[in-house]
Amino acid sequence: MPSFDIVSKVDAQALDNAINVVSKEITNRFDFKGSHVVIDLNKKEFKINIETDDDMKMRQLLDVLISRAHKQGIAPEAFDFSKETYQSGKVVKKEVQVRNGLRQEDSKKIVKMIKDSGLKVQAAINDDIVRVTGKKIDDLQEVIQASKSWGLGIPLQYENMRS
């Protein structure tokens, strides 16, 4: 029976490359000359720790991060900017969580959306992936097309298509 997996993954190497490109660009930019800027990636926890002099530079740095990560193939929705910036002495700090893998509530939303779509497919949650099976490949392709318009706020990838 044909099947495929819905996942939400961020390639660790692409993320590392994006962080390196951002830090290289920041050192060359005129508006950041002589200012305190630290951007650090925790590869195990998929967290980015950022320090800047003020809030304006923080916003500029986040814009550069999003654009450079997008060029590396990382969707902007992969970054969780929900934590507020906080002042620590003379610097402004922010911790940005990178979403890697589907959370349980996101998986449940995806399964509910698939069932509500009325297509003749089955969806099952396996850890941080959602496996979709059906009798026809056309039904599976319709699920992929429908899922692109759901707007869940998380980047979705489709892999392991088998017939």
pLDDT computed for residue 89 by the predictor = 85
Q: How confident is the model at residue 32 (pLDDT cuts 50, 70, 90)?
A: confident
CA distance 70 to 145: 21
Average pLDDT over residues 58-84: 92
pLDDT computed for residue 79 by the predictor = 93
pLDDT computed for residue 17 by the predictor = 94
CA distance 50 to 124: 38
Question: What are the CA-CA distances from residue 52 to residues 34, 56, 66 (Å)?
Answer: 11, 9, 17
Q: Could you tell me the fold of the domain covering 3-8+102-162?
A: Alpha-Beta Plaits (3.30.70)
Q: What are phi and psi of 94, to 5 degrees?
A: -150, 140
The CATH 3.30.70.860 portion of the chain extends over: 3-8+102-162
Of residues 153 and 6, more confidently modeled:
6
Average pLDDT over residues 85-95: 90
101, 8 in Cβ contact below 8 A?
A: yes
Residues 6+ apart with CB under 8 A from 120: 134, 135, 136, 139
The CATH 3.30.70.990 portion of the chain extends over: 12-98
Residues 6+ apart with CB under 8 A from 134: 1, 2, 3, 119, 120, 121, 122, 140, 143
Task: Choose among 128, 132, 101, 127: nearest CA to 114.
Answer: 132
| Axis crossing angle, helix 12-28 with helix 55-71, rounded to the nearest 10 | 130
Architecture of domain 12-98: 2-Layer Sandwich (3.30)
